[in-house]
A and B are shown apart, each in its own frame.
Chain A
Amino acid sequence: MKKNATWYILIFLGVAFIIIMLVFPLAVIINNAFRGGINPYTQALTNHFTIEALELTIKATGIAVVFNTLFGLVAAWSLTRFNWKGDKFMTTVIDIPFSISPVIAGLLFALTFGRAGWLQPVVQALGTKIVFAVPGIILATVFVTLPFVARTVMPVLNARGVDEEEAASLMGAGGLTIFSKITFPHIKWAFLYGIILCTARAMGEFGAVSVISGNLRGKTVTLPLLIEILYNDFKTIDAFAVSTILVILALILLVLKIIIEARWFKKKG
């Protein structure tokens, strides 16, 4: 490529946009978190509210990722290996959490399980609580991250077709053997990719859990909600210090994602 004026102008515009829009915000987080030196930073991180919020975030993320990963594999199997009445409809429904506002997602659960909700009697009969409680936080996180694994695995399975699995079945292989020996090796990278995206979204979910949480500190506050509370209390250093936990996790996930993409792409040739 010849390096002419256009080359320099376009690269300048692109790089400047990335620096202003992405690098500056990252730098601001670090700068604000350490504005008071190292002590306020470590204090903010070792505060018991922070620890409790971290625990809840790990719990909600873990459950959402495990459930949606298992669901993603099962749904991909059902929707790509078989034709059944309503399969197109279900494929569309899986996308809904991606296309609606997270606040509306939270609203759906508040309307269903909240104090005026039509399933509130059932929740009460079971002796539990969903809205303003941990189960609601988990449910909201599961909802917003539902499509990831299914949505990354399904196109790969669709593109491969069913011939190999049919042949294996004819030769007498059972379902688990077919899945582990034939299907899974093909979807391995897509599967890992889906899990990474699912984890990133689950740990950072804000709008949906914000509706459900009721902000009971130490009980229903995840890390993103704690950041909001601290920021609104003008505890800026604390808010940014807590943010650095999520930024580090996000950067690790981003690097993993790039590695997985590279491996996946290499395999496709």
Chain B
Amino acid sequence: MRKTKSIIPGFGLSTGITISYISFIILIPFVSIVLIAANMTWNSFWEAALNPRILAGYRVSFSCSAIAAMINCVFGTILAWILVRYDFPGRKFIDGLVELPFAIPTAVAGISLSSLYSDHGWIGSLFMLLGVKISYTAIGITIAMIFVTLPFVVRTVEPVLQHMDPEFEEAATTLGAGKSTVFFRVILPELIPSLLLGGGLAFARALGEYGSVIFIAGNTPFETEIVPLLIMSKLEQFNYAGATAIAIVMLVISFMLMFLINSLQIRQQKIIRGGETT
């Protein structure tokens, strides 16, 4: 039982600074959203948040983010696996490089990917031969999202693989299970919680991503407009109510994702610390 009054000094000062700083930087700006929303009627809110062009934006943002998260789950697991289990020349280099998307500014990534995948770009021109256009389509948006969220799954799956006891795989192999059976019946079930966590983090980040996506997106109404761009264009027209309505929808979704991610994170910590999965 902790004493209510701690003997460690600095309670008043540190708590006072913490509350003031968080209030000034985070909570006060949030009041503005509430104030603007309070001045809107239900009808104008729904009209601004759910008109056809905005709905198309949600569809683009959600489907591209979901596909990007899934692709990163597949390649993130492969990368985590080869980084933890295999030894090969360049392993350390690849391991360091995985975190590059967190260090590279999003605008830099955006113009680079846009140029790489454009019709004349190194990769884009190859796909043009097959008749597939990447830059300025939903494929381009998805690729930008894969880039910025690449580290999440690798970094959540890695520690779980490190803590996984190879005994179970060996036991399964001894009992006659083939490689794919071992993977799908023994390894994958252990990885599912961390895949959900890494995939969830990637999905949440991709939904809000702006800088790396807008250059490759083409930003055609109803086709390649992502939600953050729609908020931005409302702001450029000084339509604060319109921007706020869309932002509220996105905030509600972000907070729900944050809640889910937090509970998955607690589970992940338990797996890494205790080795228990139940």
Contacts and interface: CB of A to CB of B under 8 A. Distances in A.
Given A25-B113, A90-B18, A200-B102, A103 B210 contact: yes
Contact of B255 (A78, A99, A179): A99
Interface residues of B, number: 90
A14 interface: yes
Contacts of B19: 86, 90
Contact of A21 (B8, B103, B146): B146
Given A90-B22, A103-B208, A224-B211, A239 B6 contact: no
Contacts of A71: 17-18, 21
Given A99-B258, A116-B240, A84 B94 contact: no
Interface of B: 2, 4, 6-11, 13-15, 17-19, 21-22, 25-33, 35-36, 75, 78-79, 81-83, 85-88, 90, 94, 96-109, 111-113, 115-116, 121-123, 146-147, 150, 179, 204, 207-211, 215, 227-229, 231-232, 235, 240, 243-244, 247, 250-251, 254-255, 257-258, 261-262
A254 B84 CA distance: 20
A197 to B, nearest CB: 7
Nearest to B113: A25
A22 B29 CA distance: 36
Nearest to A143: B25
Contacts of A1: 85-87
A93 to B, nearest CB: 6
A99 B75 contact: no
B162 to A, nearest CB: 12
Contacts of B109: 25
Interface in A97-146: 97, 99-104, 106-112, 114, 116-119, 139, 142-143, 146
Contacts of A210: 210-211, 232
A165 interface: yes
Given A28-B116, A112-B31, 12 more contacts: A14-B78, A14-B94, A26-B100, A26-B112, A71-B17, A75-B18, A83-B2, A104-B251, A118-B31, A118-B32, A228-B107, A250-B103
A15 B235 CA distance: 42
Interface of A is mostly: helix
Nearest to B4: A83
B32 A227 contact: no
Contacts of B215: 228, 231
